[in-house]
């Protein structure tokens, strides 16, 4: 059997996939995708993958079409007798449904892992899972990458003094620990109370930020309500500046307007998801392509 590798991409991740494949040194394989009138679609791999190591790149941001497209491609590779099928999922969608938080609710993240395994995947490479317990949902190997490697270099290049690292909610307390240690910085925590999902009733600051350059760390920025409210609160408490680093720019609803009107100096994200091009210079995108290209190389 051949040891050759081949990379394919879903439609929504094509820009990032091109960067990854270029750094890896292989062109993307071709997908022939047939779309039916009722909304169904059928992706098929143009090149033979028999006996090969196949990498399928695609973030599974909602809607469910993006997840389904990746699963169908995986099933196609499996039925075409690929030797290995590695799913490269820069943004692992549905990860916020990592546990039952009320009666008769699903555990969406576990369901997604079951679907991935059932489709024939032999390994998964992903980045900054919302909840690390999802690693335990998988029965197949999973490589969990961290965007901190990208963000820490960016922060160090800013040459800021008196840095404080902050989390916009208490669930991110562990996430900021490595940043604070690496930058020899203080830590503060924002504590929020919700009335319902994506709706914050109040937010409070635990710690001192006066005269500091504060950097908020998060894994996902969705509606941007949490991160902008935290930034405004920190600025009110006397911080010299507030900027935010968030791995996955979901950016739904009125998120762009919230970011532009907030006191954030900038929001720095990765290209795990494509974002709209807007005139505001507050959103800066750093590529995670090299991180994934290296991880793909290490699987050889």
Give Cα 202 to chain centroid, integer Å: 26
The answer to whether 6 and 57 have CB atoms below 8 angstroms apart is no
DSSP 8-state class, residue 119: T
Phi, psi dihedrals of residue 50, rounded to the nearest 5°: -55, 125
Query: For residue 11, what are the CA distances in angstroms to 57, 106, 227, 265?
Result: 10, 28, 29, 32
CA 16 – CA 19 distance, rounded (Å): 5
Structure-block tokens of residue 152: 């820490």
**Closest Cα partner for 215 from 129, 171, 152?**
152
CA 74 – CA 44 distance, rounded (Å): 10
| Exposed / middle / buried, residue 135 (Cβ in 10 Å: 0-12, 13-18, 19+) | middle
Name the pairing type of β-strands 123-127 and 41-45.
unpaired
Query: For residue 205, what are the CA distances in angstroms to 65, 114, 174?
Result: 39, 39, 17
**Residue from 149, 192, 210, 276 carrying the catalytic annotation:** 192
Q: Is 192 a catalytic residue?
A: yes
Q: Could you tell me where the DSSP H helices lie in 159-206?
A: 175-183
Residue 227: which region, alpha, beta or left (left: phi > 0; alpha: psi -120 to 50)? alpha
- Write the CB contacts of 299 (distance below 8 Å, at least 6 apart in sequence): 53, 86, 123, 125, 143
Per the DSSP assignment, residues forming a β-bridge with 199 are 196
Show which residues are catalytic.
192
């Amino acid at each position: 059997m051949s040891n050759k590798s081949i990379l394919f991409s879903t439609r929504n991740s094509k820009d990032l996939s091109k960067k990854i494949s270029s750094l890896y040194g292989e062109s993307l394989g071709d997908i022939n995708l047939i779309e039916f009138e009722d909304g169904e679609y059928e992706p098929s791999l143009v090149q033979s993958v028999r006996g090969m190591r196949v990498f399928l790149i695609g973030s599974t941001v909602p809607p469910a079409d993006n997840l389904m497209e990746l699963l169908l491609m995986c099933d196609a590779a499996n039925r075409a007798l690929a030797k290995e099928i590695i799913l490269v999922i820069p943004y692992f969608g549905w990860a916020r449904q990592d546990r039952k938080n009320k009666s008769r609710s699903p555990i969406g993240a576990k369901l997604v892992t079951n679907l991935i395994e059932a489709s024939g995947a032999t390994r998964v490479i992903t980045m900054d899972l919302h909840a690390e317990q999802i690693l335990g949902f998988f029965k197949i190997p999973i490589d969990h990458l961290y965007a901190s490697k990208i963000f820490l270099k960016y922060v160090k290049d800013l040459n800021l003094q008196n840095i404080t690292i902050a989390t916009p909610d208490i669930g991110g307390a562990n996430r900021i620990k490595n940043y604070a240690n690496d930058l020899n910085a203080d830590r503060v925590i924002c504590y929020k109370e919700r009335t319902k999902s994506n709706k914050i009733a109040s937010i409070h600051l635990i710690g001192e930020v006066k005269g500091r350059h504060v950097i908020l760390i998060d894994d996902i920025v969705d509606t941007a309500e949490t991160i902008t409210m935290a930034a405004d609160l920190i600025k009110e408490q006397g911080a010299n500046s507030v900027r935010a680093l968030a791995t996955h720019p979901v950016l739904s609803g009125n998120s762009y307007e919230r970011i532009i009107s907030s006191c954030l100096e900038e929001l720095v994200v990765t290209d795990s998801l494509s974002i709209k091009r807007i005139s505001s210079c507050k959103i800066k995108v750093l590529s995670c392509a090299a991180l994934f290209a290296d991880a793909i190389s290490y699987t050889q």
